[in-house]
Amino acid sequence: MQSDKNAWPADLAQAVDTQNMLKTQEHPVRLQKLELLRMLECQTKEIRAAFVEVMDSRATTQRTETEEKCSLLSSIFRRGSSTHSISRLEALQQRDRLQLENERLREKNDKLIKEKYDTQERSEILRERFRELEKNNLISRQETKRLSSEMNKINAQNFKLRGQLTRVDSEQTNDFEVVQKFCRLRYNC
């Protein structure tokens, strides 16, 4: 009878451990998914920032070219140069500016292309990790179902043990009452 009483709390402790394990098992998978989503969001922000930087630099370059052109024209008119020299000088300066701008844009383009390929490569790595996490999550769900099934079995066994324990307690109570009646009848106590 004592062994049955001791077996019940051990089964209950095992059921509680199983339940706690079920609760904590899905948590790391969720954290890893959130981390992947954050990384993808950061990469998107970096690409947007690079695009905005290119557009801002184009606007600044156009404004600077206009200011230089006005300055050049005013200095030419102050010196009283001919129309031909103004056109020639403007053409040369514009060619130099265009070459510089072209070179700068080419560098920017190369940088953006490199970033694009780096981003694609990182995205592919992240997708692969995401697929792996999904696979692990599926395995985790299957393990959770298995553990849940085991926990249900343990709960059923605990219920059965509780019934046995109640019956044993009532039998002990009945035995005690029988002994008391016997004592009263036999020894008048």
- pLDDT digit string, tens, across residues 174-184: 767 777 777 77
Kindly tell me if the per-residue pLDDT of 161 is higher than 60: yes
CA distances 184 to 49, 170, 171, 179, 181, Å, are 96, 21, 20, 9, 5
pLDDT of amino acid 5: 45
CA distance 58 to 49: 14
Q: How many CA atoms lie within 13 A of 16 on its CB side?
A: 6
DSSP class per residue in 100-134: HHHHHHHHHHHHHHHHHHHHHHHHHHHHHHHHHHH
Domain boundaries, the chain: 2-187
Kindly tell me if the per-residue pLDDT of 52 is higher than 80: no
pLDDT of amino acid 53: 78
Model pTM? 0.33
- Would you put residue 80 in left (φ > 0), alpha (ψ -120 to 50) or beta? left
Does residue 82 sit in helix, strand or coil? coil
Kindly tell me if the per-residue pLDDT of 12 is higher than 60: no
Kindly tell me if the per-residue pLDDT of 120 is higher than 60: yes
